[in-house]
Amino acid sequence: MTQSQLPGTERISEAHRDLDTLPTADIVTALLEDQARGAQAALEAAAALTRAAEEIAARLARGGRLLYAGAGTSGRLAQLDAAELPPTFSWPTERAVALLAGGREAMWEAREGAEDDAEQGAADLLALDPGPNDALLAIAASGTTPYALGALHAAKQVGTLAVGIANNPGTPLLAGADIAILLNTGPEVISGSTRLKAGTAQKIALNTLSSSVMVRLGKVYGNLMVDLKATNAKLRARAVRLVQAATGHGESESAAALEACGWQVSAATVMLLRGVSAEEARARLEASGGHVRAALE
């Protein structure tokens, strides 16, 4: 197979054939400049990311889950995205589930052969009993990884929204998805090492997608993350600053409101802005589906 016939992520970068002969500063510069191209690839996928965010938010608003499936770097990035939603947005852990080829142990120790098992990808997804209110993000730089494809096909069979994220155009993962997100990053500085800009583009896309969904679900007021979990001293201090920023009240008043509301930023915000009790603030939030702006109105 010629270079032109290979997927973009597998081609050899002609611009970096002499990489090992360069001074360290030039190696660093080459890698950094290429990473910027990963960010550009994610930006070029804005329309597809927008559609996915809207479709996913609609399903999650009906009680669904955000599911992920991937192998290797893609799967580890999926695990990271899922793990960050609970502390950042108080999103229930059971409603952000990432499947990694080879199991959780593959997060720390590479199990490259596990990615070749499409049946296991399907079985792992179906074990979660997915339905039409759930959404799956199937991620693979190559766009051909059997594990991710197996999960994608299983999702479609049960009516789960199937979103495919890949770094090569015209691949089975994108062709088979309900929504295809192409992150066209091309050859890597270190040929074939998709943990580089392909992974960077995936991380940006996942951050953007899940954060956009959380904004649509009311987990943000203005640009303040009013549903974070204040589980340590640093986060409690952040919670106080967030309430101050949201309400214009001082530090002591904000801290007292948070204490009354069990350190729930959204409730403390409603409590102070509407001059109601903690109980009334929580009731307003419950009635509004957790949206601070709606609770205030």
| Domain segments of the chain as ranges | 27-34+37-216, 233-296
Each residue of 237-288: pLDDT tens digit?
999 999 999 999 999 999 999 999 999 999 999 999 999 999 999 999 999 9
Q: Which of 115, 279, 280, 297 is catalytic?
A: 115
Pick the CATH number of 27-34+37-216 from 3.40.50.10490, 3.40.47.10, 3.10.129.10, 3.30.56.10: 3.40.50.10490
Return all residues near 218 (Cβ < 8 A) that are at least 6 apart.
288, 289, 290, 291, 292, 293, 294
User: Do 284 and 291 touch, CB atoms closer than 8 A?
Assistant: no
Q: Which of 10, 55, 84, 280 is catalytic?
A: 84
User: Do 5 and 11 touch, CB atoms closer than 8 A?
Assistant: no
Nearest CA to 202 out of 73, 61, 94 is that of: 73
User: Do 157 and 134 touch, CB atoms closer than 8 A?
Assistant: no
Element (H, E) at 148: helix 146-157
What CATH code would you report for 233-296? 1.10.8.1080
Each residue of 172-193: pLDDT tens digit?
999 999 999 999 999 999 988 8
Catalytic residue flag (residue 115):
yes
Supply the pTM of this predicted model.
Answer: 0.91
Establish how many alpha carbons lie within 13 A of residue 126's alpha carbon, considering only the half-sphere containing its beta carbon: 13
Distances (CA, A) of 154 to 29, 49, 142, 177: 42, 22, 19, 11
